Amino acid sequence: MPLISVNKVSKSYHSRLLLDHVSFSIERGDKIALIGNNGTGKSTLFKMIRGDVKPDEGEILHHGTAIAGYLTQNMEELDIGGNILSSEELSNIEDKMREAEFKLATADAAESQALLRTYEQLTSRFESLGGYDYEPRMKAALAGLGLSDIDYTRPVSSFSGGEKMRICLARLIVSRPDILLLDEPTNHLDTDALEWLEGFIRSYGGAVLLISHDRYFIDRTVSKVFELENSTITAYRGNYSDYKEQKRHFLEDQARLVANLEKELVRQEGVTQTMLSHRNISGYHAREKVVGKLSDRLAQERSKLKSGAMHMSFKLMPEVRSGDPDKKLLEARHLGKTFPDGKVLFEDVNFEIKASDKMFLVGPNGCGKTTMLSLLLGKVGDFDGDVLISGSSRIGYMGQFVPFEDETKTILSELMDRSELSETAARSLLARFGFRDIDVYKQISVLSGGERSRLFLCCLLEEKPELLFLDEPTNHLDIESREVLEDALAEYNGAILAVSHDRYFIEKCQSRILGFFGSHVELLDKYEHYRKKYRTFSEDEDAKRAAIASEKRQADKERREAEKAASADTASAKPVINRAKERKEIAKRKERIRYLEKTIAELEEEQKTLESSFGKDTSPEDYEKYSKNSEQLEAMYAEYMELENT
């Protein structure tokens, strides 16, 4: 039996049909990607599965006790209550368990039976939610998502937006629902966290339905693809690459069908006109109906072909310039950036960009990629080294947030004011960027994030830059738009320096990599070479941190022993009473201390082994084991200190 059944569901907003009699089911173990252009209704469908939004028609059935966990991309809808390691549901259940235990202590026989049933239900629910090992599993999930070095006592509301999203994702993961509904789960994750999440989803025993524009992520996690298009859902077997191949065959077949229908329509129209000229009125009217039905079907089949074709065609060709394609446009010499607190972001960075270069800055969140981009653009004044830019180079820049001077302008007027295009040429160009018909008269202030990015890029490229700086250019773009952008950038004969986490995009552009390894930045030929080298670097850094932590623990132990010895030397002499019971307790304490020292040493060695094995293929179970060992070590350290000081 499926966990969830969606039966002939329809939904409209403001007279716009989003879903038209959509049906599908989700089985246990399914890993499904829901894809489609922005605004087609993917997030609305998630909310209907959750029960937050009601369908206009049809029904959504949750079979048995199936529980769905939901991660929203809307920051305002996130559950950010409590501190990081708290779970409101588990706390409520635990309170009820304590209350039941208290009542059982004073209940009579009749009351005890009912209380025991309630208590068993509560404990069963507590266990099913993983209540007894919730904290170590939460720490393991946070570590996997890149939040290992944080203060667990801080309230969630005090963290940044990206950190809040990752904390809520970790909470959802450890709650172990039957179905995970993940709306853009890769937002705010760097590559290490992405790879950990990919491994978790592949090994997850429940079902996963996810919305994502990250094709690399979809390729590595799902076995089915649901495409939401023309208000209906089409299911494809396999991952994203499999879907692309199946969709290509469908479009080829569809193009042949449309061509045949067009020929048939021309033939039927000819027959109709012949009947009219021969004054065969009854035959003419009958044939007119055939032509009308054929025309309607042709329009319907054309719409399928149109929706499957790429809507946008970017023109990224700079002005034709004479000269060497190896002309040097930019050179960075011994670049460095240090914050006032002494933290070194990067140092002694050297590279050059030639007229035909495509280069990506890659590294974990917070490593300094956007800072370096801003430095090269002259937006950061306090830095070490030199940046030399060719005086004849025309530079274009698109950041993560795109500004417009006048938000009251229309799309059409913005492009015409920033170019020398006629209205006809401007409308034609805007159509290639997805703005058609009356859309060109929309005010900038009402545009979505993706629409703003497309308009900004359209205007920027019409200025024909020779060197293009891009900071996360695929943000806000749906998959179809990303692929058109990639194809255009692959053919672009100007230079590009970009920051991106989109692995598919990076590999498609066949660019060189400026990879960040701590404060060191190195130029590499391929993205895969960077990932291989970064994994080794990350493992070495983890080993260094573990060694430092071990040295600190040893130093703390020696300091406590020295303080204890000094205290014993200065303490007043007290009579010692040798009693058999006290001697026995002292012996037991010493035996316990020896046991703790031995076990702590073994656990520390096991932790080192685990740390050295951490990498791309590390399973969630290994992270969970590491977290449980850490918990056990903390408890043993505390007990050891207490025994040593008594």
pLDDT digits (tens, 9 = 90+) for 280-300: 888 888 888 888 999 989 888
Which range of residues forms the domain containing residue 273?
A: 257-308
- Answer yes or no: do 261 and 230 share one domain: no
Question: Is the pLDDT higher at 578 or at 174?
Answer: 174
- Answer yes or no: do 514 and 562 share one domain: no
With a cut of 60, say whether residue 177 has pLDDT above it: yes
List residues bridging with 83 in a β-sheet.
155
With a cut of 80, say whether residue 624 has pLDDT above it: no
Q: What beta strand segments (E) does 276-394 contain?
A: 328-338, 344-354, 358-362, 384-389
Q: What's residue 115's pLDDT? A: 86
With a cut of 90, say whether residue 433 has pLDDT above it: no
- Answer yes or no: do 347 and 222 share one domain: no
- Answer yes or no: do 523 and 543 share one domain: no
Question: Is the pLDDT higher at 219 or at 464?
Answer: 219
Q: How many domains does the chain have?
A: 4
Each residue's pLDDT tens digit, 379-417: 888 899 999 998 777 898 987 778 899 999 999 999 999
In a domain, 403, yes or no: yes
Q: Please say whether the beta carbons of 375 and 337 come within 8 A.
A: yes
With a cut of 70, say whether residue 308 has pLDDT above it: no
d(CA 262, CA 39): 31
d(CA 546, CA 557): 17
Q: Please say whether the beta carbons of 126 and 98 come within 8 A.
A: no
CA distances from 518 to 333, 344, 401 (A): 19, 9, 26
Helix (H) or strand (E) holding 139: helix 134-144
In a domain, 23, yes or no: yes
Q: What's residue 620's pLDDT? A: 57
d(CA 455, CA 78): 30
Q: What's residue 343's pLDDT? A: 85
SS3 366: coil
Q: What's residue 320's pLDDT? A: 44
Pairing label, strands 16-26, 68-71 = unpaired
In a domain, 248, yes or no: no
Mean pLDDT of 161-190: 85
Q: Please say whether the beta carbons of 32 and 226 come within 8 A.
A: yes
Q: Which of 191, 206, 238 is the last residue of a domain?
A: 238
- Answer yes or no: do 515 and 540 share one domain: no
Each residue's pLDDT tens digit, 128-157: 777 888 888 888 888 888 887 777 777 777
With a cut of 50, say whether residue 312 has pLDDT above it: no
- Answer yes or no: do 296 and 349 share one domain: no
- Answer yes or no: do 77 and 211 share one domain: yes
What percent of the chain clears pLDDT 70, i.e. is strictly above it? 88
Confidence of residue 80 (pLDDT cuts 50, 70, 90): low
Q: Which of 279, 308, 337 is the last residue of a domain?
A: 308
- Answer yes or no: do 170 and 56 share one domain: yes
Q: Which of 238, 267, 294 is the last residue of a domain?
A: 238
**Dihedral pair phi/psi, residue 15, rounded to 5°:** 70, 5
Confidence of residue 330 (pLDDT cuts 50, 70, 90): very high
- Answer yes or no: do 409 and 522 share one domain: yes
Question: Is the pLDDT higher at 29 or at 582?
Answer: 29
In a domain, 134, yes or no: no
Mean pLDDT of 244-248: 92
- The single residue listed with the structure tokens 């992270």 is 623
User: Which range, of 224-228, 268-272, 596-600, averages the lowest pLDDT?
Assistant: 596-600
In a domain, 624, yes or no: yes
In a domain, 170, yes or no: yes
With a cut of 70, say whether residue 9 has pLDDT above it: yes
With a cut of 50, say whether residue 482 has pLDDT above it: yes
d(CA 348, CA 484): 36
Token pair in block for residue 622? 């290994």
Confidence of residue 324 (pLDDT cuts 50, 70, 90): confident
Give the chain's radius of gyration (CA, Å).
32
d(CA 334, CA 346): 10
With a cut of 60, say whether residue 575 has pLDDT above it: no
Q: What is the CATH number for 344? A: 3.40.50.300
d(CA 172, CA 162): 15
Q: Please say whether the beta carbons of 174 and 166 come within 8 A.
A: no
d(CA 389, CA 408): 35
Q: What's residue 642's pLDDT? A: 74
With a cut of 70, say whether residue 313 has pLDDT above it: no
Q: What's residue 311's pLDDT? A: 45
The runs of H, that is alpha helices, within 418-474 are 423-432, 449-462
Other Cβ atoms less than 10 A from the Cβ of 255: the count is 14
With a cut of 50, say whether residue 616 has pLDDT above it: no
Q: Please say whether the beta carbons of 227 and 243 come within 8 A.
A: yes
d(CA 36, CA 227): 6
Find how far residue 334's CA is from the centre of its chain: 34
In a domain, 95, yes or no: no
Summary mean pLDDT of the chain: 84
In a domain, 140, yes or no: no
- Answer yes or no: do 542 and 606 share one domain: yes
Q: What's residue 232's pLDDT? A: 93
Token pair in block for residue 552? 């600190």
List residues bridging with 410 in a β-sheet.
443
Q: Please say whether the beta carbons of 482 and 474 come within 8 A.
A: yes
Q: Which of 366-370, 583-587, 606-610, 630-634 has the highest mean pLDDT?
A: 366-370
d(CA 449, CA 640): 56
Q: Please say whether the beta carbons of 482 and 505 come within 8 A.
A: yes
Q: What's residue 226's pLDDT? A: 97
With a cut of 90, say whether residue 440 has pLDDT above it: yes
- Answer yes or no: do 515 and 537 share one domain: no
- Answer yes or no: do 444 and 538 share one domain: no
